[in-house]
Structures are given as structure tokens and as C-alpha cells.
Chains A and B, each alone.
Chain A
Amino acid sequence: MEEILRVEHLTKVYENGILANDNVSISVNRGEIHAICGENGAGKSTLMKVLFGLEQPEQGDIFVKGEPVRIQSPSAAIKLGIGMVHQHFMLVDRLTVAENVVLGNEPRRGILIDREAACRVTEELGRKYNLEVDPTALVADISVGLKQRVEIIKALLRGAEILILDEPTAVLTSQETRELFEELRHLRDAGHTILFISHKLDEVKALCNRVTIMRGGRTLGTYELEGLSKSDISRMMVGRDVVLKIEKEPASPGAVELSVRGVEYWSELGKKMIDGVSFDVRRGEILCIAGVEGNGQRELVELITGLRSGGAGSAKLRGTELLGRPIRAARKLGMAHIPSDRMVYGVASSQSVKFNILAGKVEDARYTGKLLFRDRAIDRDMEALARAYTVKCTSADQTVGMLSGGNIQKVVVAREMSQEATLLVADQPTRGIDVGAAEFIRRRIVEMRDAGVAILLITADLNEALELSDSIVILHGGKVVAYFADTRALTEEEMGYYMLGVKSQTPEEVEGAVHAS
């Protein structure tokens, strides 16, 4: 076995201080399909970006065919024979397939583009590698699977020997996935090397020769897939390095507050993202929706909170339908929402702390008179809220955009938790913020639960899912695959099996998420 790519002791720290790759080492052989597996945030994508020259590492060495190299740009990567098929296609929709394929490397005839040659090379590569696609079609008009083929052809035309595919099946239907696998096997047999990033264990087992497992920015090791079971991979991928402890009493759930029934949703590309999801959230409990990113939880929470429209099924807040109704109606009924993207949906970053907390309360007679704001009441109460939620700011008039991530999130939390809500949807409430702020927010969530509020928690943080929530619903492939009424009985290994599709509960067990009311 000839080694084509080796990475040694690579470390990448992002500007915001996140250690994305920590002493990563990996060795890839020529002519293999090599899987890179890891949870969200395990550092897979960062490693691939470094290999394709999109990010520069702080430390470490990269060797291509035994030679030490520095990959400072995508063009440098391409020169070294490394090609990348991005998760979001890098294609120009309004140009033809052939034009996209040759863009930047145009065949010429005099001063003109040789269009025939462009079509010819596209067709030739297509025939050679079983990647046939009509070179004269507009990219805008072809299917997602074909667009991916065009991306692969682009990389091959530029002489890629090592192809990096970043979660290539995330956007594909199962038929397209099967076709892609055929194409990749064909490429492997022709001598190409493929780095396949995925957290779909079925696909990894079906397609790949070896797997490198990453966790928390580190590589745990590389293993032959033969003789390795899906549960072995899952156990290595999922694990907590530091166990988070949150002190709370066992929940004493009350009446059902939010009841979700048979929700379905199709993406714009026609892929079924949510497939018949049903569960209830009761007063005084924290229900967590867990799953590997891309398994429907994002769409689900956006449907419930009104950020996304479409789909089928129902989500009722104390009997009133939420789906298809304006966000304002849901908030009037008592829903508060800590959105996952605080900069887009959470705050108006150019406005003051005061007005960001006030938003949503402007109709309150305490703060708005017949015509004008009641400035004194606003100043007094918003100032008090900012203090109560320990927002570190010079005054409540400070612009939110000037604060740190943790303090911005506290502004969002202060607003949403002072809303007198009966249902709190907390979507990644502590993502990317400092430990102190995260701890504060988690404690507040527990306090709200104890006060009888129903809490729907969505989190990609395994620690948070296991420690903060009272019960858990696990999504895989858009379906509920498991329900655990009591999180305390659940281990991370067990959770990993369900999140990664190794195991799934019986329909009767899953039914447990639906409570008789």
C-alpha cells in the first residue's frame, strides 16, 4: 500500500479561540476510500479546509506523496492533485455544464473559447469515469445529483488524484446516493483516492475501506472497516471528555403544553427532511430533541417557531395550531424562542441592549403610552433585566454588537425569559459562548422549568442534552428513532447508537413521546 497523503501533529486554532484541530495525524493510501467520521464540531471540516488550502494551520506537517508541502490556497491544492467537492456546490447556475467544467482552464482556439473542446472534455471525462452529464445543459436545470457529478468532473479535469467529498450525501436522495457510490467505487478502481466525510455509518460501512475517527478536534485513530461494527464506530465517535454536571431536582411534568403530530417536511430539492414526527412537551419538563446535524431538527424547530413555512402535520400550543400561523400569534399564545442564530434572529446588533430586551414588549402599556414610549419605565426595567441576567455592558444604552457572544446571548435570554411565556423553545442556547455564560443560561432554564414552563431544548451538545434535559427524543433521517422518558437512565454510548442510526426503538417505544392528555 502506497501512502499518498499524510498529516502529522496538525493544530488549527480559529481567531475566536476555538481549537478546531488538536494534534491531528492521519495517513491515507493511494486508491482507497477513506472515511473521516466524527460528531458535529469534531474538526472534520476544518481538517479538510486545511488540506484544500482554505485554512492555514498553526502547527503540523502535510506530506503529499512523501513530499512535505504547504497548501496556501485552493489553487495550490489543485496543483498538488487535491480536489474538493464542496457541500454547497461551487457552480454558476446560469452557465452551461461545459462552461462550468472549464471555467478558469478554458480550452482556446485563437482568442476564442473552444466550445466544442469544452463539451468534448466534459463528455470524455464523463464516459471514462461513468459520470455522464449533458455538457450543453444549463446547470440551473439539472438535478442535485448531476450537479455533484459536474463538481467531480471539475476536480478531475484539474488533475485531482485525491478527491475530498464533504458530506456528499446530505443533499442527495437515496437513489442518487446509490449512484454516487457506484461512481466513487469506479473512481477508486481507476486509481483515485477519496476522502469521504460523513457521519452516516451505513454509508461508511457500505463504501469505505478505512475510517479515521475524530472527536473533540483530535484523531482517535484509523481502522480497517472490515471487522469493525457500526456500534464500534459509534462508541468511538460519541463520547464526553468532560462530564458536565447540572444540579436539578427530578422533573414533575404537568399538563401537555405543546403537542406535535405527524409533522412532515420536504426540502426545496424534494428531499424528505421530516418524516412523521410526533411528540409532546409538558409543563415543568425539559424535552430535548437530539440528533446529528442534518437529520431534521433544524427544519422541525423552524416550523414550530414560525421561521419556516410549508410542510404538513400539526403543532398545537394548548390546542391552538401553530403551523402556518404568524410568529406573532405564537408569541401571543405564550411561546418564547431563543433562536440558534443569535446574530440573525436573536438581536438587532446595531441597537442598544435596552431596545433589544424591550422588543416583544412594546405593546405593553407599562412601556408604551398612547403615543410615545414611557422612557422612565423602560430605562428602569430594562436596566434591571440586563443586571438580573448579568449582561456585562457599560450601560443598557450600549450597542449589542459591541458585546461578546456570551453577553449577546444573555440579552436574547433576558428578553425571551422575561416574556411570561408558557413554552420556551431553546435552540442551541449555549452554542459558542463562554463557560460562565453557558452555566448561567442553563441554570435559568432549569429555574423556568421549576416554575412550570414547558421547555423544548434543541442542542448539538451531547453534554447539554444528557445533563440539562429531563427526557429526550432522538431524530435520525427525519424520524423519531427513540424516546427516553428519563434522561438519567441514558448513557452517551446508547445515545450515539440511536443518533447514528445503529439502533432504533420499536414504534411502541417511540409512541412514549406522545402523552395521553
Chain B
Amino acid sequence: MSAFFEAVGNVAFAAQILRVATPILLAALGATIASQAGCLNMGLEGIMLFAALTGVYVSSMTQNASWGAWAGLLAALAVGALLGALLAYLVLHLKTDATLAGVAINVIGSNATVFLMYVWTGSPGTSASQKSYVLPTVSIPVIRDIPVVGTVFSGQNVVTYMAFALVAALAFFLYRTPLGLRIRGVGLNPGAADSVGINVVGVKYLAYVLSGVLAAMGGAFMSMGYVSWFARDMTAGRGFIALAAQAMGRSTPVGSMLSSIFFGFTMALSNSMQSLSIPFELIEAMPYACTILALSAYAYQQTRKKKQSSGG
């Protein structure tokens, strides 16, 4: 037990939470904007994988240590936007079931990325044989010198800072701008939005594209944040955990952030506990078990609330 507290109680663990939460948070923000417009983006996982591979590939192709990683990130975001648009086309024009379309993108993402990586590197496991670049970490002056706080909040990857800044940006966008109001209007009552001349399909397209871009940033972080390679299925279900985080966060940016941090905590915990003598598989399963528990608790509370309001 003391080993457990040693693993959890130190400052590095807190820093790790933010790092691990980053890709979940970005994908959860993607799920949030889609959900605010009344859309379901089930394809987050697949989009993250495509983005992760694209980022590594483009950054490797540049052969440039100073801006190669940035080029990779931009390319990843562009791929995310395209996949978001593809999903929107499938759902809004071809009237495919949103869940099935998303699952299709996930399955394609899981397999096509391996195929493309194999074509590129000759290896079906990782792209580590090809030199690629990582996005920089940021050391914040003043804060880095404060004990504890400095260790946690300074020296994180630039994408981590971007992710948390995007929480505020997205909240601002949704609640303070005309377009944000239209997105919420479309999500809450498309008929009402339509009756005042809002292009409902256009707004939903936009939401899917932005959702794809946010998920792609999370994917790029996976392959270019701390490592400089792509590995098959490296997102390991984070796209689905992000959906859980969005649902638990009631589709609000801040709520999604809080639940992403919670999931980050459970994943960081499972990382730290691998040094303990608990079976590896059990620890690996922990974040996912926590997802189920958290979702059940949330659903229980929601149904009880519904019962109370309808009973009274």
C-alpha cells in the first residue's frame, strides 16, 4: 500500500495526469462541439489514428527539426477536418446512421493506418524506424521556479497548453458568439433554427469539421507529443473514453475538461501502478472499468433526477 501512495503522492504524478488527459480532453472537446449541434461523432478514435499517422509521416518527410513537427501537426489537423467532413457527408447527405458511420471510420482507421505505415516503413508495428520530430515542451518563466506548481504546470507539451486554452476558447465560442448561439440552437431545436432562416445542415457540417480537427489534435499529440513514432492502435480507445467524458461533462467544455482530467487520473494511476505487484492486465483495464463505473453513476443520477421531476 505504501508503494501505492508513493506512486500517487508525488508531484510527477500530478504532472502526468495533465499529460495523459490531453488527448482525451481534445477528443472530448470534439465530441462536445458535435453534440452541441445535435450531432454524434462516433468516429473520434479513427480520426485520432489517421491524424497520429499523418503527423508522424509529414514531419518525417520534412527532414526539418525546427518546423517539421509543426508541419506534421497542421497536416494532421487538415486530415481531421477532411474526415469530419466525410462523416458529415455520410450522415447529413447520405443519411447513414451516425453510429454506424462513426464505427466504420474507426475500423478503417485502425486497419488503414497499419497498412499505410507498412507501405511507408515496412513494419506493421511501429514507425520508429523513420526519424520524426516531437512538438516542443514549454517552460514557463516564473512559474517554473515555484516549487511543486512549477513541476506540474511548467514544462508540459505545447499541445497540452493548447488543449486547456481551447476549453476556454470553445466555451467562449459556444456561449458568446452568434455562430455559437446558432450551433446551440440547431442542436436543441433544429426546427426552430430552420424557421428563422438558419442553415441547419451547414451548421452541422461545421460542427463535424471542427470536431474532426479537435480529435485530430489529440491524435497528433499521441504520436508527436512525447514519442516521435506511430504505433498500431496507439490511441487505445481514447476516442471512446472521450465520448464518455463528453457525456459525463454534459456536453459543456468545462464539464468535458473535468471528466477528462478524471479519466487522465485513472490512466496515470494505471501507469504508476505497473511497478506494483498487481497483474498487468488488471491495471491496464482500470481506466476502462472506471469509465463504465463513472457512466453508470452518472446515468443513475440522471434517471433519478428525471423520476423526481416527473413525479413532482
Q: Which residues of A contact B (CB under 8 A)?
A: 73-75, 78, 84, 86, 89-95, 99-100, 102-106, 108, 111-113, 154, 158
Residues of A within 8 A of B198 (CB): 103-104
Shortest B112–chain A CB gap in Å is 34
A112 touches B196 (CB 8 A): no
Verify if B92 is at the interface (C-beta below 8 Å from A): no
B66 on the A face (CB < 8 A): no
| Distance between A45 CB and nearest chain B CB, rounded to angstroms | 15
Q: Which chain B residues lie closer than 8 Å to A92 at the CB level? A: 184-185, 188-189, 192-193
Nearest CB of chain A from residue B134's CB, rounded to whole Å: 34
Q: A92-B185, A95-B188 are in contact. Are A104 and B196 (CB under 8 A)?
A: yes
CA distance A99 to B193 in the complex (A): 12
Residues of B close to A106: CB separation below 8 A: 178, 181
Contact B197 A74 (CB under 8 A): yes
Tell me which residues across on chain B come within 8 A of A91, comparing CB atoms: 189, 192
Known contacts A74-B195, A103-B192, A104-B193; 16 additional CB pairs below 8 A are A74-B197, A84-B195, A90-B195, A91-B189, A91-B192, A92-B189, A92-B192, A95-B184, A99-B181, A102-B181, A103-B181, A103-B185, A111-B177, A112-B176, A113-B176, A113-B177
Q: Complex formed: what's the CA distance from A104 to B203 in Å?
A: 12
Interface of B is mostly: helix
**Complex interface: chain A residues within 8 A of B182 (CB):** 103-104
Tell me whether A75 and B197 are in contact (CB under 8 A). Answer: yes
Which residues of chain A are near B192, meaning CB under 8 Å? 89-92, 100, 103
Which residues of the other chain, A, contact B9 by a CB distance below 8 angstroms?
none
Q: Beyond A90-B189, A93-B189, is A154–B181 a contact (Cβ under 8 Å)? A: no
Q: Is A113's CB under 8 angstroms from B178's CB?
A: yes
CA distance A105 to B178 in the complex (A): 8
Which B residues lie within 8 Å of A75 (CB)? Answer: 197
With an 8 A cutoff between CB atoms, is B191 at the interface? Answer: yes
Q: What 8 pairs across the A-B complex have the smallest Cβ distances?
A: A104-B196, A106-B178, A75-B197, A90-B195, A90-B192, A92-B189, A92-B188, A104-B198
**What are 13 A-B contacts defined by CB distance under 8 Å?**
A90-B196, A92-B185, A92-B189, A92-B192, A92-B193, A95-B184, A99-B181, A100-B192, A104-B182, A104-B198, A106-B178, A113-B178, A158-B196
Task: Determine if B181 and A113 form an interchain contact, defined as CB atoms under 8 angstroms apart.
Answer: yes
A154, B196: Cβ atoms closer than 8 Å: yes
Q: Determine how close the nearest CB of chain B comes to the CB of A135; give it in whole angstroms.
A: 14
Expressed in whole angstroms, the Cα–Cα distance for A384 and B264 within the complex equals 65
User: Which chain A residues border B185 with CB–CB below 8 Å?
Assistant: 92, 95, 99, 103-104
Q: In the assembly, what is the distance between CA of A461 and CA of B77, in Å? A: 60
Q: How far is the CA of A78 from the CA of B197 in the complex (A)?
A: 9
Q: Least Cβ distance of A308 to chain B in Å?
A: 16
B197, A112: Cβ atoms under 8 Å?
Answer: no
Chain B CB count within 10 A is highest, among A95, A102, A103, for A103
Give chain B interface residues in 85-131, CB to chain A under 8 Å. Answer: none
The A-contacting residues of B in range 136-193, CB under 8 angstroms, are: 176-178, 181-182, 184-185, 188-189, 191-193
A95 vs chain B, min Cβ distance (A): 7
A86 touches B178 (CB 8 A): no
Chain B residues with Cβ below 8 Å from A94 are 184, 188
Considering the chains assembled together, what is the distance between the CA atoms of A113 and B185 in angstroms?
14
Contacts of A103 in B (CB 8 A): 181-182, 185, 192-193, 196, 198
Bound form: Cα–Cα A102–B181 in Å:
10
CA distance in complex: A306, B189 (Å): 30
Q: Closest residue of chain B to A100, judged by CB?
A: B192
Min CB distance A63 to B, Å, is 23
Bound-state Cα–Cα, A39 to B188, Å:
34
Q: Contact mask B187-221 → A, CB, 8 Å, 1/0?
A: 01101111111100000000000000000000000
- Asked whether B177 lies within 8 Å of A90 as measured between CB atoms, the reply is no
What is the minimal beta-carbon distance from A183 to any residue of chain B, in angstroms?
20
A106 closest partner in B (C-beta): B178
**Alpha-carbon gap, A78 to B198, bound state (A):** 13
A332 to chain B, nearest CB (A): 29
Given contacts A92-B185, A92-B188, A94-B188, contact A112 B177 (CB under 8 A): yes
Q: Closest Cβ of chain A: how far from B173's Cβ, in Å? A: 9
Contacts of B184 in A (CB 8 A): 92, 94-95
Contacts of B191 in A (CB 8 A): 90
A102 to B178 alpha-carbon distance, docked (Å): 9
Residues of A near B194 (CB, < 8 A) are 74
In the complex, which residues 26-79 of chain B have their Cβ closer than 8 Å to any Cβ of chain A?
none
A91 to B195, CA, bound (A): 9
Name the distance in Å between B295's Cβ and chain A's nearest Cβ: 23
Residues of B contacting A99 with CB < 8 Å?
181, 185
A112 (CB) vs chain B CBs: closest residue? B176
Give chain A nearest CB distance to B135 CB in angstroms: 28
Q: How far is the CA of A26 from the CA of B184 in the complex (A)?
A: 39
A100 CB contacts on chain B under 8 angstroms: 192
Complex CA–CA separation, A78 to B191 (angstroms): 16
C-alpha spacing A84/B194, complex, angstroms: 13
* B177 neighbours in A (Cβ, 8 Å): 111-113
- Give Cα A43–Cα B121 distance, bound, in whole angstroms: 69
B43 shortest CB reach to chain A, Å: 27
Bound complex: CA of A123 vs CA of B309, how far in Å?
32
Within the assembled complex, what's the spacing in Å between the Cα atoms of A112 and B177?
5
